[in-house]
Structure 1
């Protein structure tokens, strides 16, 4: 359960950072989001 909670917080933090850097990295946030979703699916 702790791992899931940590992963959830990590996704939120990455989301915020991605939005903050959105102007600099226009394509990356979507790729990061897809990768995180795949990781989350693997974890169950």
Structure 2
């Protein structure tokens, strides 16, 4: 059986904040990539002219 351990309130808060930030980073990055893709707009037409 796993040993139980105790955390101080600041340590627990730091762990929770770390987890929340980690879980938010991926969706924010995906949204940013999608917006950059939409912003490129007519880049394909310019490439075809070359």
TM-score category of the 2 structures, normalised to the smaller one: 0.3 to 0.5
User: RCO (CA 8 Å, sep 6+): is it higher in 1 or 2?
Assistant: 1
Q: TM-score, normalised by structure 1?
A: 0.45
Q: TM-score, normalised by structure 2?
A: 0.41
Bigger radius of gyration among the two: 2
